[in-house]
Amino acid sequence: MLPAGPLMTEHRLIERMISLLDSEFETINKKGRVNITFLDQAIDFIRTYADRCHHGKEEDILFRELKIKDLSQAHKKILDELIKEHVYARENTAILSEAKNKYINGEKANIKTILGQLEKLVTFYPQHIRKEDNDFFIPSMSYFTKEEQEDMLNEFWEFDKKLIHENYKNLVESYE
Which residues of the chain, if any, have pLDDT below 50?
A: none
pTM (2 d.p.): 0.92
- 3-state SS, 4-39, equals HHHHHHHHHHHHHHHHHHHHHHHHHHHHCCCCHHHH
**119 domain-assigned:** yes
Residue 174 falls within a domain, yes or no? no
Instruction: Quote the CA–CA distance of 89 and 93 in Å, as a whole number.
Output: 6
Q: What is the pLDDT at residue 163?
A: 81
Residue-range definition of the domain harbouring residue 40:
4-169
The tally of domains found in the chain comes to: 1
Distance (Å, rounded) from C-alpha 147 to C-alpha 112? 50
- pLDDT tens-digit map of 57-86: 999 999 999 999 999 999 999 999 999 999
| Predicted local distance difference test score (pLDDT) of residue 148 | 97
Which residue, 47, 51, 72, 56, is CA-closest to 135?
A: 72
pLDDT at res. 174? 81
| Residue 40 CB coordination number (10 Å) | 14
Residue 120 lies in a domain: yes
CATH number for the domain spanning 63: value is: 1.20.120.520
For residue 176, tell me if it sits in a domain.
no
